Amino acid sequence: MRGAEALVVLCERLRAEDAVVASLGTPSYHLVAAGDRPLNFYLWASMGMASSVGLGLAVARPDRRVVIVDGDGAALMNLGSFVTVGWRAPRNLVWLVLENGVFLETGGQPVATGAARADLAGIARAAGIPSSSRAGTATELGAQLDRALAEPGPHVVVARVDADANPARPPADPVRLKNRFMDALG
C-alpha cells in the first residue's frame, strides 16, 4: 500500500474532534494531502517527537481522542516513547506508524524495519501496549483502525507502506500551526 493511501484510510475514519499529531516529513505530507484541518498538528525539525507530543496531549486532554502519525525511522529514534505510552496507557491514544523501511526525506537510507526487520508492533507489545498490530493492505489497515478507534487504547498500528514521496506540504509557519491547533483544541 502507498503511504498516501494509508492516510486517506485514516482520515476517512477520523471524527471532527479528533486531534492528530504528525511527524515531520512524509507523515505530515501525506496527512495534509489527505485532508488538512485545524486539528492536525504538523511537527517541523523534531524527528522522533510526534509520539512524545501526542502522548502529552492524550494525557492532558483525556476527553479528546489523539492520533499520532509517525514514520518508522522517527519511531525508532524515540523507542522510549513505546515504553512511556505502555506505562501511562492513555485510553484515548492511537499511534499509526508508516513503515517504509527507509529515512525517505534524507535520501532513502535504510532503517532497521527494512532489511533488519525490526518489528515495531512486537516492540510495542513488549513495552506494555498489548493492542499492537500490523497491516499490509488498505483493507487490513481499515479494519485495524476501525477497532483501534472504537475501543479504549492505547493502540499501535504499524502500516507497511511503499517509500512514496508526496509533494504536498503543510504550512511552513510553525507559530501559525501552533496557534491554529491550540484554537481548535479550545
pLDDT for the residue 144: 97
Instruction: Please state, rounded to an integer, the average pLDDT across all residues of the chain.
Output: 92
Residue 4, pLDDT > 80, answer yes
**Residue 19's pLDDT band (cuts 50, 70, 90):** very high
> In the structure, what pLDDT confidence band is assigned to residue 63 with cuts at 50, 70 and 90?
very high
Phi, psi of 103 (to 5 degrees): -85, 90
Residue 128 main-chain phi, psi, to 5 deg? 100, 20
Q: In the sheet where 40-42 sits, what is the strand order? A: 40-42, 19-22, 66-71, 93-99, 155-160, 132-135
Please state, for a pLDDT cut of 70, what percent of the chain lies above it. Answer: 95
What is the grid cell recorded at 21?
499529531
- Proportion of the chain above pLDDT 90, given as a percent: 76
* Cell representation of residue 103: 529515512
Q: Which residue has the cell 488538512?
A: 36
Give the C-alpha separation, 137 to 78, whole Å. 26
What is the helix, strand, coil percentage profile of the chain, to 5?
45, 20, 40
Q: Write down all domains in the chain, each with its CATH number in brackets.
A: 3-185 (3.40.50.970)
**Between 24 and 6, where is the model more confident?**
6
| Largest CA-CA distance found in the chain, in angstroms, rounded | 44
Q: How confident is the model at residue 65 (pLDDT cuts 50, 70, 90)?
A: very high
pTM, rounded to two decimals:
0.93
Cα 83 to chain center, whole Å?
Answer: 16
Q: What's the rounded mean pLDDT across residues 68-77?
A: 94
